Amino acid sequence: MKPLYGFHAVGARLRAAPGSVHAVYVDASRRDARMQQFLRKVEASGVTLKTLSAERLDALAGTDRHQGVVAQVDDLPSKHDMHAVLDAVQGPPLVLALDGVTDPHNLGAMLRTADAAGVHLVIAPKDRAVGINPTVARVASGAAETVPYLMVTNLVRSLGELQDRGLWVMGTDETGTDEVFAANWKQPAVLVMGAEGSGMRRLVRETCDQLLQIPMLGAVESLNVSVAAGVCLYEAVRQRRL
Residue numbers in the known binding site for S-adenosyl-L-methionine are: 194, 214, 223
Q: Which residues are annotated as a binding site?
A: 194, 214, 223
User: Phi and psi of 136, rounded to 5°?
Assistant: -60, -45
Q: Are 194 and 100 in contact (CB under 8 A)?
A: yes
The Cα–Cα gap between 75 and 112 comes to: 19
Inter-axis angle of helices 104-117 and 225-241, nearest 10: 10
The Cα–Cα gap between 123 and 109 comes to: 15
User: Phi and psi of 139, rounded to 5°?
Assistant: -65, -35
Task: Compute and round to an integer the Cα radius of gyration of the chain.
Answer: 19
User: Phi and psi of 170, rounded to 5°?
Assistant: -120, 120
The Cα–Cα gap between 183 and 11 comes to: 37
